Structure 1
Amino acid sequence: MAPLAELLRPISLDDYIGQEHLLGSGAILRQAIESGSIPSMILWGPPGVGKTTLAHIISAKLNRTCYTLSAISSGVKDVREVILKAQEEDKSAILFIDEIHRFSKSQQDSLLGAVERGIVTLIGATTENPSFEVIAPLLSRCQVYILKSLGEPELIKILDRACRELETRNGFTITIKEYDALLRISGGDARKLLNAIELVIQMESIKDKNIVVTNENTVRIIQKNLAFYDKGGEMHYDVISAFIKSIRGSDPNAAVYWLARMINGGEDPLFIARRLLILASEDIGNANPNALLLANACFDAVNKIGYPECRIILSQTVTYLASSAKSNAAYMAINNAQELVQRTGDLPVPLHIRNAPTKLMKDIGYGKSYLYAHDYEGNFADQEFLPDKVSGQKLYDPQNNPRENELRNRLKQLWKNKYGY
């Protein structure tokens, strides 16, 4: 028999739970669907929130042929075959591509012409930020809809529906006495939630057909059957969180443990390598600039080599980053700068540091009195680089580690008391 998550997959918008901001009465995507005219789109959100389900509901509602491809197992040849079919048979077809972020640039390029000419309406599903994972020409032709993790009320609705289905199917009596453990385990992922409740009821029904679900029996059963419950790496958001926090917390032993959990769960190694690139700047930064170089080399090597050998490269990088000095000063600097820009708006660029490519610009003062640093001792000339309104505003504050202490001392020597270094 099909898994519970498949049996309970909604077939209409009225059955669909969650995403009220997109599908509630009068919401933008619902209006588009009900009008019968939808744009090509990217559905971006975490696992188990209904991206695939929504794509199939849309195609059924519009009575359109829906071709489905998985980016994991499909290539350019498959895309071209679908486009050819759509041209010959049904020019209003929908092409649904699951995990579109896994398509290479050339694979995404192969979609452009068909999307632009309206041969297919593309619906791509992704857990990754499409700004980084979908090529700009394709992204510009698609509307991006952000799907959110399911909240407690939606998850409880799904659980209640699941219990009714299991009672009907198996003749059980099911009472959920405590929801907390199930909700915590789900992490907002409906598929994970349904896998969990199905497993708990399956195990408890061996003892009694009158089943009472509690936090205690939920945790006990899930922990005993973790490999069964989580095959395919569905807990990756929980595990990646533990992984990142272990590296940030300078514990290479915990970090490499969580790395092994992800590898054994079948996690995409490039997903791991991307997170290491971000962490190298966000949590290490100028405390050890080599961290970013190593993380970048790791990403390139993982991209070239893949499993199983790339696990060694990931392990080297993870243990190095976890053992390195830490600083979030670069992360805080850009946060501070963006917050300042938000508060103060588009302040004028000081005249002396403006670009002056024409005589007219020079005549009206662009570039006038600019001091070329390399003409001065120590390759430094004391002059103002910020707009007058924010002059003296310190945005980068080096932290207390050997490398950044050197940077702080240099900045103090150059700028004296201007920025308070």
Structure 2
Amino acid sequence: MRRLDSQAADFEAAFNALQATAAAEDPDLQAAVQTIVNAVRERGDAALLDYTLKLDRWVPGEPVEFEVPPADLDAALAAITPAQRAALSGAAERLRAYHQHQLAGSWDYTEADGSVLGQRVTPLERVGVYVPGGTAAYPSSVLMNVIPAKVAGVQEIIMVSPTPDGVDNPLVLAAARIAGVDRVFRVGGAQAVAALAYGTATVPAVDKIVGPGNRYVAAAKRLVFGTVGIDMIAGPSEVVIVADGSVPADWLVYDLFAQAEHDEQARAILLSPDLVLLERVAERAAALLGTLERRAIVEAALERHGALIRTRDLIEAATLASALAPEHLELAVADPAALLPHIRHAGAIFMGGHSPEAIGDYCAGPNHVLPTARTARFSSPLGVYDFQKRSSLIALSAAGAGTLAPLAAELARGEGLTAHARSAECRLAAE
């Protein structure tokens, strides 16, 4: 990992380089994804069959067998170990409890003239959830994306997940059953995103698509946005840790490793005013690296995107961490609450040494679908609110219209919109 010091002359340039997370768009990738999306939009299931054979190396039978039968979901749940069932069920229960607190309700109020104004909150009708299933499969992603939608009251949840060589992942299917997915389809990649956006004879069109995926999936979500809603365009995973020496160095090392093992683009950064701690973390990281199954990935990620940063004090460490606007921020300090006023930007904040990001990934309760690549400056974790929409309610009384029509007409004429003005004023004539 690179070593930085906030008091060094070249620190600002080096720190700015850490913030430059956005990669340039690949025109070849964009063109390839556009071709896939167009093919599915035009040819439907036939295109899905072609891409499933080409990319996932299997051919659904006749009639088209993309959909996973409900009996297979039940069988998957029965096939996993009791410990796995307990872990999935326990995590699901905690997620439901947390997300219940996010439910927004409809409201209204009545003005003195009898006019009623308010807001009506309703759930989305149909949501598509993308679950990776290629190089890795993530049952936790099923729970994190599906449960807030269920809590919101979404009427139908469609899950898509690739099945390389036609082999289902029982943990993913079991998680779908526990979370309450309505229908599951064995399709993935950009072609699955297109199917959810436009619909085919087999896969129904949805109103919004959520869930992580590779860069092809991300590019496809960007292309179909507008036809459907999307949650976000997720980048590589990241953690920033602020430490004061009160948390053991080995804990911090494993927290850095936990992010770095996702992929070689993952970012893991530790900030501290304690030089002795930084040296200790560097030593223990070198000693523990060889014990990891994904050593090569961790090593590459730390070399490319890792950093140990010495700061003047904890307040500067917190301020710099906020400037990075990380997906995950760990305040591994004795008094994390004291640093919160200095944090404006973070997807999730983990308070104290006993709150590692790794637990948050699975079962703490809050959602692990978080803004990456500094988008925490303007966006939030996935939640129930992403599956609800709001309609304004306006019920003016005759007296209310009489009061407001002149105001509306004056503003309308100022904008050159005569019909708007007359629309308001004709209510006056009716009094």
Is the structural similarity TM-score above 0.5? no
TM-score (norm 2): 0.26
TM-score (norm 1): 0.26
Higher RCO, 1 vs 2 (CA within 8 Å, ≥6 residues apart):
2
Larger relative strand fraction: 2
Quick check: which has more Rg, 1 or 2? Answer: 1
